[in-house]
Amino acid sequence: MSSTTLKIKTKSPKPNNDKNFLLGVIKVAGGTFLGLTLFSTSVVAGGLAGLAISFRNLPDVRVLKNHIPAQTSHVYDIKGVLLASFHSEEHRQTVELEEISPELKRAVMAIEDSHFYSHRGVNPNSIARAMLVNYRSGSVVEGASTLTMQLVKNLFLTQQRNFSRKLAEAILALRVEQVFTKDEILLMYLNNIYWGHNNYGVQTAAKSYFNKPAEDLNLAEAAMMAGIIQAPEVFSPFNDYAVAKRRKAIVLNRMEDLGWITSQEAQSAKNEPLGVGKPQAWQRSRLPFVTDAVRDEVVKSFGSDMLIKGGLNIQTTIDYNMQLQAEEIVRNAHRNLRRRGVRADQVALVAIDPRTHFVKAVVGGVDYEKSQFNRVLQSRRQPGSAFKPFVFYTAFASGKYSPSSSVANFSKGYRDGSGGGLYSPQNYGGDMGGGNVSINHALTVSLNIPAVVVGQEIGLDKVIEDSRTLGIESPLQPVVSLPLGPIGVTPMEMAEAYATFASNGWKSDTTMILQITDNAGNTLVDNTPKPKLVLNEWATASLTTVLQNVIQPGGTATTANIGRPAAGKTGTTSGERDVWFVGYVPQLSVAVWIGNDDFRQTLGRGVTGGSTAAPIWRQFMNMALKDEPVLQFPAASQFERPKPPEE
Q: What is the pLDDT of residue 377?
A: 98
Separation CA 359–CA 322 (nearest Å): 11
Which residues are tagged catalytic?
A: 112, 385
Q: What is the pLDDT of residue 128?
A: 66
Separation CA 323–CA 327 (nearest Å): 6
Buried/exposed 1-18: b ≥16 CB within 10 Å, e otherwise: eebeebbbeeebebbeeb
Tell me the average pLDDT of the chain: 87
User: Does 418 score more than 60 pLDDT?
Assistant: no
* Percent of the residues in the chain that have a pLDDT greater than 90, as a whole number: 73
Q: What is the pLDDT of residue 281?
A: 65
Separation CA 117–CA 250 (nearest Å): 22
Cα–Cα distances in Å, from 440 out to 404, 432, 459, 470, 480?
Answer: 6, 19, 20, 22, 22
Q: What is the pLDDT of residue 379?
A: 96
Separation CA 348–CA 616 (nearest Å): 10
Separation CA 176–CA 512 (nearest Å): 44
Q: What is the pLDDT of residue 420?
A: 62
17-26, 158-167, 457-466: which has the highest mean pLDDT?
457-466
- By mean pLDDT, which of 124-138, 185-199, 312-326, 353-367 is the weakest? 124-138
Strands (E), 58-180: 73-76, 82-86, 91-92
User: Does 19 score more than 50 pLDDT?
Assistant: no
- By mean pLDDT, which of 120-134, 213-227, 390-404, 625-639 is the weakest? 120-134
Q: What is the pLDDT of residue 60?
A: 82
Separation CA 105–CA 108 (nearest Å): 5
Helix intervals (H) in 52-101: none
Q: What is the pLDDT of residue 16?
A: 40
- By mean pLDDT, which of 34-38, 44-48, 246-250, 554-558 is the weakest? 34-38
- By mean pLDDT, which of 266-280, 304-318, 544-558 is the weakest? 266-280
Q: Do domains 3-57+89-271 and 323-638 have the same CATH topology?
A: no
Residue 305 pLDDT grade (very low, low, confident, very high; cuts 50, 70, 90) = very high
DSSP label at residue 384: G
Better pLDDT: 644 or 494: 494
Q: What is the pLDDT of residue 204?
A: 93
Which residues are CB-neighbours of 472 under 8 A, at least 6 positions away?
Answer: 390, 489, 493, 497
- By mean pLDDT, which of 71-75, 149-153, 255-259, 559-563 is the weakest? 149-153
Contact 531, 503 (CB under 8 A): yes
Tell me: the pLDDT tens digits for 245-290? 999 999 999 999 999 999 999 999 999 988 887 776 677 899 999 9
Query: 523 forms bridges with which residues in the sheet?
Result: 517
Residue 165 pLDDT grade (very low, low, confident, very high; cuts 50, 70, 90) = low
User: Does 6 score more than 80 pLDDT?
Assistant: no
User: Does 163 score more than 60 pLDDT?
Assistant: no
Buried/exposed 299-325: b ≥16 CB within 10 Å, e otherwise: eeebeeebbbbbbbbbbbbbbbebbeb
Q: What is the pLDDT of residue 38?
A: 42
CATH topology of domain 323-638: Beta-lactamase (3.40.710)
Separation CA 333–CA 366 (nearest Å): 9
Task: State the average pLDDT over residues 363-381.
Answer: 97
User: Does 170 score more than 90 pLDDT?
Assistant: no
Tell me: the pLDDT tens digits for 41-54? 444 444 445 444 44
pTM summary value? 0.82
Indicate the residue type of 257: D
- Domain residue spans of the chain: 3-57+89-271, 323-638
Contact 512, 293 (CB under 8 A): yes
Contact 57, 71 (CB under 8 A): no
Task: State the average pLDDT over residues 229-234.
Answer: 91
Cα–Cα distances in Å, from 634 out to 83, 234, 355, 501, 585?
Answer: 37, 67, 14, 11, 11
Q: What is the pLDDT of residue 644?
A: 87
Q: What is the pLDDT of residue 134?
A: 54
Tell me: the pLDDT tens digits for 561-594? 999 999 999 999 988 999 999 999 999 999 999 9
Q: What is the pLDDT of residue 125?
A: 74
Buried/exposed 140-179: b ≥16 CB within 10 Å, e otherwise: beebbbbbbbbbbbbbbbeeeeeeeebebbbbbbbbbbee
Q: What is the pLDDT of residue 17?
A: 39
* Percent of the residues in the chain that have a pLDDT greater than 70, as a whole number: 86
Q: What is the pLDDT of residue 369?
A: 94
Task: State the average pLDDT over residues 178-185.
Answer: 94
In terms of Cα–Cα distance, which of 4, 213, 225 is closest to 109?
A: 225
Task: State the average pLDDT over residues 527-531.
Answer: 97
Which string of DSSP letters, residue by residue, matches 309-366?
HB--EEEES--HHHHHHHHHHHHHHHHHHHHTT---SEEEEEEEETTTTEEEEEE-SS
Strands (E), 416-548: 422-423, 436-438, 506-507, 513-517, 523-526, 532-533
- By mean pLDDT, which of 30-34, 103-107, 368-372 is the weakest? 30-34
Task: State the average pLDDT over residues 221-236.
Answer: 93
User: Does 519 score more than 80 pLDDT?
Assistant: yes
Separation CA 571–CA 614 (nearest Å): 10
Task: State the average pLDDT over residues 292-319.
Answer: 96
In terms of Cα–Cα distance, which of 83, 618, 588, 621 is closest to 318?
A: 83
User: Does 26 score more than 50 pLDDT?
Assistant: no
The CATH code for residues 3-57+89-271 is 1.10.3810.10
User: Does 597 score more than 90 pLDDT?
Assistant: yes
Helix intervals (H) in 158-314: 163-179, 182-192, 202-210, 219-228, 232-235, 241-257, 263-271, 288-302, 304-309
Separation CA 448–CA 432 (nearest Å): 10
